[in-house]
Amino acid sequence: MENKYRIIDTHAHYDDEAYDEDRAEVLKQIKEAGVEQLMNIACSKKSIETTNNLTLEYDFIYGALGIHPSDADDYNEEVRADIISKVKSNKKILAIGEIGLDYYWDENPDREVQKFVFREQMRLAEELNLPVVIHDRDAHADTLEIMKSFPNVKGVVHCFSGSVEFARECVKIGYYIGITGVVTFKNARKICEVVEAIPLERLLVETDCPYMAPTPYRGKRNKSDYIEHIIEQISQIKGIDPKEVNMAVNSNFSNLIRNTK
């Protein structure tokens, strides 16, 4: 069934093993349901390759290439050169990501290693004139400090989990705030406050699929057409028509990538 919205999913992981058994079917279904464009986000050495391949195979899939903080130990000159090569040969690579800091998991690489790799990939984004997709988990202060140290780099703070004050700081330096299905959860007071406080012109919608499925699909495998529930929740919080939200967030994504490459 066709979706009532024109959906752009700004953060997805369709190369994830959760789709190994039916990837082609899922991608066919979401396109038929109104998903016009999605950005598949790499997070590991392996997914730099698989993300790039998806962009070449599907006309509506674009990509971001980078190393997630959980895999920061894998970032080296070889990976950097591979990203540069793919960006230069594939015009569908729109951003550097998923990069950033994750202090939640004890088994993650040392924090100093994460910060070094984050800075290196911010430097790479600046060199390539591409926006960044930032992962920030329990690392708000260090994330903001590094973002501020690269004033020429813009992007989105993906799956935003910080306070209204932190969101305002991010917006002040030119970043967008990524809103996932978490905004539909009953206990999601903090992100709802962020959506209420931040101008619609600085919000993006994303699934982070296969994770973060919105209510009423919470706990199930996520997919891009479920963004309709995020759009409708934002419209309720802001008291505006969902079609207005839909048009605005799509325009925001276009603005983010317009002046790159």
For the segment 55-65, what is each residue's pLDDT rounded down to a tens digit? 999 999 999 99
pTM comes to 0.96
Query: Predicted confidence band at 3 (pLDDT cuts at 50, 70, 90)?
Result: low
Q: Which residues pair with 254 in a beta bridge?
A: none
Q: Is 208 annotated as a binding residue?
A: yes
Q: Is 9 left (phi over 0), alpha (psi -120 to 50) or beta?
A: beta
Average pLDDT, the chain: 96
Q: What was the pLDDT predicted at 258? A: 80
Q: Are 93 and 55 in contact (CB under 8 A)?
A: yes
In terms of residues, how long is the chain?
A: 261
Q: Is 158 annotated as a binding residue?
A: yes
Token reading at 173: 């330096």
Q: Which residues pair with 133 in a beta bridge?
A: 97, 156
E strand intervals along the chain = 7-12, 35-41, 61-65, 93-102, 132-137, 155-158, 176-179, 203-205
Q: Is 140 annotated as a binding residue?
A: no
Query: Predicted confidence band at 260 (pLDDT cuts at 50, 70, 90)?
Result: low
**CA-to-CA distance for 119 and 220, rounded, in angstroms?**
35
Q: What is the pLDDT of residues 46-55, one digit of tens each?
A: 999 999 999 9
Q: Which residues pair with 65 in a beta bridge?
A: 96
% of the chain exceeding 90 in pLDDT: 96
pLDDT above 50: residue 245 = yes
**CA-to-CA distance for 258 and 163, rounded, in angstroms?**
28
Q: What is the pLDDT of residues 147-190, one digit of tens each?
A: 999 999 999 999 999 999 999 999 999 999 999 999 999 999 99
